[in-house]
Structure 1
């Protein structure tokens, strides 16, 4: 059984005047246990809509999402979500942010401390536990968000362009950090991006979205071995795969422009 099963999921939005916009065509997709899948597509194609439905933050117009055979009907601790914006509680310290979900679940103070210490160290924030988010850089805030999501031990980690607001150097470092964590823990990951290099570097499979109304039109396996280093981006095989995906996205962008 797949860890995640997306079955004929679509989404239509209705505006205040009653007009309808089809954002996501009926979509079927399967994500296996321990898989790392990136969703790649042009802006506004429905990638984030699909991720929000999987997270339980939005409701499909048709279809359903199953996680380990159980239908998703709302947010749950088995799904950890990391957004592009830094969604930390500004009045809490880094340690308090990471411990928040654990406290809400009723974990003992000792258990909270142990898990938060482990993941704070894992994302390289040892020494910043008592800082507030506004005292940290964007990259450090996003590390905190990832640590908070991982500390809750979700079945699947959902990331919506989590590095999109970062400068290029920080973005590369964060890609390697997250990939290293995945290589060690093998969490199931669904990662939305519009960056082709990022989609290839991070994933075992790339799911290519069509232009809006979106659907997954093609999946491509990424066979580069682990552990990965950013230098694979200079390899001929990486360039070949990038050319294929660039043409896929270009074709969708042109189709969108024609309409």
Structure 2
């Protein structure tokens, strides 16, 4: 599979009102291009449409206007070229770790031996050896997200869509998962769209950070992250990291104030 360019062209999303309430405009016209192999993080206040945008790219939701294009072809439904990991633990509880990782491979009709080989490879890459036969209920949050990441990667998607995947984890586990994701990305250079509320996480992972406005969301700022790869946790203590964090904090605080004012 050759890598594809992702283009979000004038995408809007309006949700119908409940009963007598007015419709809600979640996304203003949004334009964005992501080159093959880029790691792009999306920051913004709660309710600004970050997750809605990601779901539209995944084909799990449809835009009210505009379109998502992969190498010029419109996205109208989920597909194997896009893999998604959610914040909530979305493993199938009736399947083991290995069963969850093999699920997409089985659905695609891969032979059993090939399923086993691919699953074993990603079990090893995500540090899950020894847990192949565990059920999701027997795993910690971090282990469940490792399994969800392995399941997404096993299908060899061209684009990885991550919606606050580490948001429910404790601080130390979250940092280890960030390092694991970076290690995999540096090896594979898949295109990544990563939604987060965490400024440090966005800077540490991405080579470009997009800041979205308060609802109705739009991309209001684009901040390149000119920090060299490979990266490790010590980068978070550098003046360069601190300067990027200060800039992004200023952008986000302005939008959070607007969101609070609109809610009040």
Matched, 1:33 2:36: yes
Match of 2:246 in 1: 243
Q: Which residue pairs with 2:160 in the alignment? A: 157
Give the counterpart of 2:139 among 136, 139, 143.
136
1:170 is matched with which residue: 169, 173, 176?
Answer: 173
Give the equivalent residue in structure 2 for 1:126: 129
* Aligned 1:1-259 pairs, distance under 5 A: 3-17=5-19, 19-259=22-262
Structure 2 length-normalised TM? 0.96
1:205-226: CA deviations, max 9, x gaps?
Answer: 0011001100011111101111
Deviations 1:177-235 (A, max 9, x none): 00100000000000000100001000000011001100011111101111100110000
**d(CA) in 2 for partners of 1:183 and 1:194?**
23
Deviation at 1:2, TM superposition (A): 6.4
- Structure 1 vs Structure 2 CA RMSD: 1.0
**Structure 1 length as normaliser, TM-score?**
0.98
Give the number of equivalent residue pairs: 259
Change over 3 Å in CA distance of 1:126–1:2 after alignment to 2:
closer
Indicate the SS of the match to 2:42: strand
Instruction: Please tell me whether the aligned partners of residues 2 and 30 of structure 1 are also in contact (alpha carbons under 8 angstroms).
Output: no
**Secondary structure, counterpart of 1:58 in structure 2:** coil
C-alpha distance in structure 2 between counterparts of 1:177 and 1:26, whole Å: 34
Paired with 2:226 and 2:120, the residues of 1 have a C-alpha distance of 34
- Where in structure 1 are there 5+ consecutive unaligned residues? none
Instruction: Write the deviation string for residues 80-130 of structure 1: whole angstroms up to 9, x where unpaired.
Output: 000000100001000010000000000000110110000010000011101
